[in-house]
Each structure stands twice: as C-alpha cells, then as structure tokens.
Structure 1
Amino acid sequence: MTDIFDVIADGTRRDILQLLLRRAADGDGGTSVTQIVSELGISQPTVSKHLKVLRDSELVTVREDGQRRFYSLAVEPLEAVDDWLVPFLVDAYGDSAPDIDFSVPPLPDSAAHAAEVVGRAAASAKHVVQTALKRLGA
C-alpha cells in the first residue's frame, strides 16, 4: 500500500479530498468526475489519475451507476495521519492542549530509536532505488 503521506502530499489530491468532504457534509450520494472537473477547473484525465491514486490508497470509495462513477471520502486511512500528528500537537500545546484522545502509550526509548533507524534506512533505500531507476531511464 502507498504511504498515506505520499498520497496526501499532492495538492491536487488534497483539493479533491476537501471537495469530497464538503460535498459529504451536504449529504450527497457521491461526486462524479464531471462535478470534480467543473468545481476544481482541472482536466478530466488529471482528475481520473488522482482518483485512481486515492482509490488505491482507500481514501475514496466509488459507486457505479451505469456509465457514471460517484466518489465519496473514506476517512479511515486518515486516522493514521491523525495518530501520527497527535503527539506533536500535545507537545506544541503542552498543558493547554485541546482534548485529544491519545490512549497509546509512548514507545520505550529503545523502540523509538529502532523505529527511527528503520525509517532512515527505508528513506535511504527509497532514494537509492529512485536514483537507480532514473539512471536506467525508467
């Protein structure tokens, strides 16, 4: 599965997600590609490309009605982002932090260090692979 942070890093995908969120608040049964194109002013192929990424990362669901597809926001994958951000908000606000349900205990120092080492190794490996693919012209 694609890293959720890579998916939401793209501004167009964030715009699509915000549009779907607004339309969900209006109680619609999904938003068509045509509606997204019209409201965001971007091309249909671009919208379709970004919707595929959002579908693959399970951030949107699709409902088919004949030839038309209607997209809706699926918030569950965003919970991973929320879980990652909460500790930073708590640190930033200190005792005046808004009420946040943070029931996961912090990692022991050794586990946090191991996670950091693994994360850095993964980032380094990703860079090496991307560089190799660029050199190969892929």
Structure 2
Amino acid sequence: MKKITIMLLVAMIPFLTMAQKRSKKKEKQAVEQIKSSKATVEYMVIKGVEIPMDIQGVDIIENSKDISDGEDVRSEIEIKRLLKPQVRLIIAFDFGNERTKEVSEMMRASSRFRSMSAAANAAAVNGWEFVSANIVNGKAGITHYYYMKRNK
C-alpha cells in the first residue's frame, strides 16, 4: 500500500507543478491596443460632487420659535442658501485609460474650479464639446455628470 501511495504522489508532482505555472503577460500589449484604436472620437466624463456644508447658527434660528421675526429670518436664510449655497464641490475628469500630459494638467486644475461650468469651460478650451448631462441627488450630495466628446 505504501508503494502505491508513493507512486501516486510521484506521478502527481508534474500535474501539480503545471497547474501552478503562470503565463507571461505582456503589459505593452494592452497599451498598443489602445494606441492602435481606429476610433475617430474621444469621450470624457466630468464628475462633480456637491457636498453640503452646515451653516453655523441656522439650527439655532430654526429651533427658536419664540422670536416673532423667526419666519422672516428663516425665509431670509433660505433665500441666501438658494442664491449662494454653502457646498464643497469636488470635480474629477474621467478620460478612461488615457494617460497624457493634458489629462494630468486637467486633473491638477480641477481643484481650483468653483463650479461645474468652470470645469466645462476648461474642457472646451482643449477642444471638448458638451454632449449631455445627468444630475443625481443622493444621500452624500448632488452628483453632476457632464459627458464630453471631441474628434481626434
């Protein structure tokens, strides 16, 4: 019985070692496929997330119902919120797998933009055309998606 077990183990060694070999993948192959693409149009998505910031003192005014001018103050605060919302805007440019100097410059510049229109204008300077937009209202805030394209 020992001999049969030893022979089985010796016979299984080649099969087990073949299963563990990894194939050699070339990383350059994926890059070459992207460069050799025959597409005549490039697409980009500008994603902007508005994160609402709390206004100090608003909760105090909203909770105080003793003040006779409470309604006026609350309506004034709501008007100010609509005219100049206290939000933080985070903008990201999605170019897909493309990594160029233009991509890195746009990503660095995205921290300076105060609105989605500023981001769209910066993209337009580089030849991008506005195609479509979506706005998603979620728990974390409002997310804007601007779809852009340009001819190669």
TM-score between both structures, scaled by the size of structure 2: 0.18
TM-score by length of 1: 0.19
Higher strand share: 2
Q: State which structure, 1 or 2, has the greater radius of gyration over its C-alpha atoms.
A: 2
Which structure dedicates a bigger proportion of its chain to helix? Answer: 1
Higher relative contact order (CA 8 A, sep 6+): 2
